[in-house]
Amino acid sequence: MSLQDANDYGDFIDSDDDERAPEFCEIEESAEPIQQYKKGTFYPVYIGEVLHGNYHVIHKLGRGGFSSVWMAHDIANHRDVALKIIVSGNSGDHEYNIHQQIIRDVKDTSSLLLCLNVFHLEGYQCRRHTVLVLPVQGPSFQMCLYKRPIAARMSAAWQLLRTLKKLHDAKIVHGATATPLDDRKLNVKHQYLGRPQKIMLPNTIWKRADLVLPIAETISENLLQDTIYLADFGLSFKTDQPVPDIKGFPPGLYRAPELWHGIKCDYARDIWSYMFIFTHLYLGVRPWLGNGSSTVLANMVKILGPLPQQRMGHYEHPPSGDVSWYCQSRVPDLRLEALDAKIQRLRPEVSEIERSHFLSVIAKGFCYLPENRITAGELLDDESFRALMEHYQL
């Protein structure tokens, strides 16, 4: 059964309604784990709530391992904003400070999603949650990836690399957009964004809260544009300053192999993550999968071959590393020839010349040793990368 909120704040999905059971499961799978709310890790929010006396929550933009992101209306300034509510125990002060350093040190910040304001909320058992107020530019591009044509995906890859170079030039390691709706009525916003689909959390949570399906699942494709913004600077740091004690790592699939082995490299880690995203954008599928540290590395090694021998014994994440990952006689299951066949299967329209350019690019980015990995500036000038971009009229 669907119960419409009296104030038009979306639709509650009832688990007892057999017809809508798949939607209930989709919300549970895409939202934060309920247990993390019970423990006080995530700050509970509900659609229609007014936070800090000014920010009227109207939709859910997404979430990550260290934050949930909500679309809200800034009552005082008559504009829509994004509220990034950081989990308890993970100080958002570092990320806010990085935003200020970027504003000071990066000449062109037009492609960066930077903080407008900051405030704090008191959570469960007096735990503090930092909230960054950001411009609202839409959902994560990767969440909308399946909706975008290949030309738009390659445009995103080009924009992202140029933005990374801006950060690297300012000695910063990093570690989606829509038409403004600020002045539209709530029911009109719902026509563009989709009505919030939500589940009311049980009374065992210390305050009222909703689990909400992120906006990327409901947003109108006509609202999506091709300009992207780089965001999420929680793991960023300046290379010319002492590296702060930052809790957490990049998501496992995007994490450079040296980070699994306790090596704190700088710009090269960004290039590895970029290359994973670039491959995903080009192929439409991730180059490898995995839901844990060991499965990520095992699948990576199947494709790219054995990890460097000198890394053996330095793996730092549970469970313990598999010695077969470092066996130099091991032959990758997916050599370049097999990957070439995979491109032909996933992208049959691609010419042999274009495939060769793509394989050349990823070979320069997916280098196990960070000192051998191509830089952002070198990749922008790389002949094969430029040929790919020119093919898509970029």
What residue numbers does the annotated binding site cover? 84
Binding positions for ATP: 84
Q: Are the C-beta atoms of residues 217 and 30 closer than 8 Å to each other?
A: yes
Cβ-Cβ contacts under 8 Å for 177 (sequence gap 6 or more) = 137, 138, 224, 225, 227, 228, 229
Picking from 48, 384, 25, 381, the residue whose alpha carbon sits closest to that of residue 208 is 48
Picking from 89, 94, 106, 105, the residue whose alpha carbon sits closest to that of residue 39 is 89
Q: Are the C-beta atoms of residues 41 and 89 closer than 8 Å to each other?
A: yes
Picking from 73, 67, 176, the residue whose alpha carbon sits closest to that of residue 131 is 67
3-state secondary structure (DSSP) of residue 328:
coil
Rounded to a whole number, what is the distance in angstroms from the first to the last CA of the chain? 48
Please give the structure tokens belonging to residue 249.
């790592």
Q: Which residues pair with 67 in a beta bridge?
A: 86
Burial, 117: exposed, middle or buried (Cβ in 10 Å; 0-12, 13-18, 19+)?
A: middle
3-state secondary structure (DSSP) of residue 163:
helix
Place of tokens 């990368």: 385
Q: Are the C-beta atoms of residues 161 and 274 closer than 8 Å to each other?
A: yes
Please give the structure tokens belonging to residue 356.
């060769």
Strand positions, DSSP E, the chain:
2-4, 11-13, 50-51, 55-63, 67-74, 79-86, 117-122, 128-135, 172-173, 197-200, 210-212, 237-238
